[in-house]
Copies of this chain bind each other. A is one copy, B any other.
């Protein structure tokens, strides 16, 4: 068993050494002027990554906490909410909305499909709809849904549009203001290449209006409490100071490179991953196009269990990929390509996958064919080394 670990999952993702070092600097008091300035700078930089001038609130919590904050701050009992779902994280919204006593109007599609903007807008226009809730990157299937098209289709209905961008923000374009997305929620541990523990929600004027009328209970996740403190660089409750310090450093790396350049980097890694998967004689489960920007899902060859492959990779080779959720458990494996990853992380994933599948009885059409396909693509479209 290798003692060196390679984390090539769709989150948490590897932390750049300078970000990890920032997290380990001496603890500071959250009500000090230094931390206040740092929090304001962090929020300012986050807004650039969110592509928004809306308010942005930060919570200490998992991404799900920010998702829940959208439900608790926007809705009231009896509200009509459309939830679009084609995977595990779409289903999380269903559970969240139900936990607050509201039965959502479901626009469900099979896991792996793209959400259908027209169907979602149709459901939202059938009756007065408070909110429409969708997932941007459906990490369980590898599909990045077309939020731009969904936003355009939903706009005429007047419903508040809420987007789960936990596993997409910073890794693929999400033009919050230009596309007219009212609420975007995200977390620190995916494309933002920081430790897990912070979650965010951007809130449009329209969303604030609805939040002012919402009667669901909330305190820790109250947007107003958070925003009123954060406008001064303060937080309503003691924040995860060390992760804010880390995130501030990570955001500087991202903005120094430029968001569009980061998206292009991820696209290249994704293309090489898809080429490599096919080079191994495997079939893609996620789309064979640039919409699979954050994670590539591949189908297991006949007779090979994905969970077994996952375990072999992890325990014999030290490579941590992701398996499948729910109905896809055992059928697929997922390779993350977001955050602090580069071409040789993809090479490692593909080489490891070939070795593990070999141990389980699958021989690729050409030995080394996965790595060869990926490196050929990288040779044609080099990944900048500063990433």
In the complex, the answer to whether B237 meets A62 with C-beta atoms within 8 Å is yes
- Residue of B12, B29, B65, B219 near A95 (CB, 8 A) is B219
Does any Cβ of B come within 8 Å of A220's Cβ? yes
A27 within 8 A of B: yes
- Quick check: A12 and B30 within 8 Å, CB to CB? yes
A99 to B5, CA, bound (A): 45
> A99 and B218 in contact (CB under 8 A), knowing A24-B23, A197-B197?
yes
Of the stretches A240-248, A285-293, A356-364, the one at the interface is A240-248
**Chain B residues near A30 (CB, 8 Å)?**
12, 196
At the interface, yes or no: A101 with Cβ under 8 Å from chain B? yes
A107 at the interface (CB under 8 A from B): no
Assess whether A240 is in contact with B29, with CB atoms less than 8 Å apart: no
Q: A5-B28, A12-B27, A60-B196 are in contact. Are A99 and B238 (CB under 8 A)?
A: no
- B242, A101: Cβ atoms closer than 8 Å: no
A7 within 8 A of B: yes
A23 to B26, Cβ gap below 8 A? no
Given A15-B26, A197-B197, A238-B12, are A62 and B220 also a contact pair (CB < 8 Å)?
Answer: yes
Please state if B24 and A7 are interface contacts (CB–CB under 8 Å). no
Chain A stretch 1-40: residues in CB contact (< 8 A) with chain B: 5, 7, 9, 11-15, 20-21, 23-30, 32-33
A187 at the interface (CB under 8 A from B): yes
- A101 CB → nearest B CB, Å: 6
Contact B217 A217 (CB under 8 A): yes
Interface centre among A11, A12, A15, by most chain B C-beta atoms within 10 angstroms, is: A12
Cβ A239 vs Cβ B9 within 8 A: no
* A354 contacts B by Cβ under 8 Å: no
Which of chain A's residues 205-224 have a Cβ closer than 8 Å to chain B? 216-222
Q: Identify which of A221, A238, A239 gathers the most chain B CB atoms within 10 Å of its CB.
A: A238
* 238-290 of chain A: CB within 8 A of chain B: 238-243
Contact of A219 among B9, B15, B64, B187 (CB under 8 A): B64
CB atoms of A64 and B23 under 8 A apart: no
Contact assessment for B217 and A99 in the assembled complex, using a CB-CB cutoff below 8 Å: yes
State how many angstroms separate the Cβ of A11 from the closest Cβ of chain B: 7
Q: Return chain B residues, CB-CB under 8 Å to A15.
A: 26-27, 242
Tell me, rounded to whole Å, the shortest Cβ–Cβ distance linking A330 to chain B. 15
Contact (A240, B240) CB under 8 Å given A7-B26, A62-B60, A220-B62: yes
Pair B96/A219 contact, Cβ less than 8 Å: yes
Residue from the set A30, A189, A195 with the largest chain B CB neighbour count within 10 Å? A195
A320 within 8 A of B: yes
Asked if A145 is at the interface (CB within 8 A of a chain B CB), the reply is no
Q: How far is the CA of A344 from the CA of B239 in the complex (A)?
A: 28
A14 to B24, alpha carbons, bound, how many Å?
A: 11
Would you call A306 an interface residue if the criterion is a C-beta within 8 Å of the partner chain's C-beta atoms? no
Chain B residues within an 8 Å CB radius of A222: 99
A68 at the interface (CB under 8 A from B): yes
Q: How far is the CB of A18 from chain B (nearest CB, A)?
A: 11
Closest 8 A-B residue pairs measured CB to CB? Answer: A197-B240, A62-B237, A24-B24, A99-B219, A195-B242, A20-B24, A64-B237, A100-B217
Chain A residues at the B interface, C-beta cutoff of 8 Å:
5, 7, 9, 11-15, 20-21, 23-30, 32-33, 59-65, 68, 72, 95-96, 99-101, 187, 189, 195-197, 216-222, 236-243, 314, 320
- Interchain residue pairs with CB less than 8 A apart (5): A5-B28, A27-B195, A63-B238, A65-B220, A187-B238
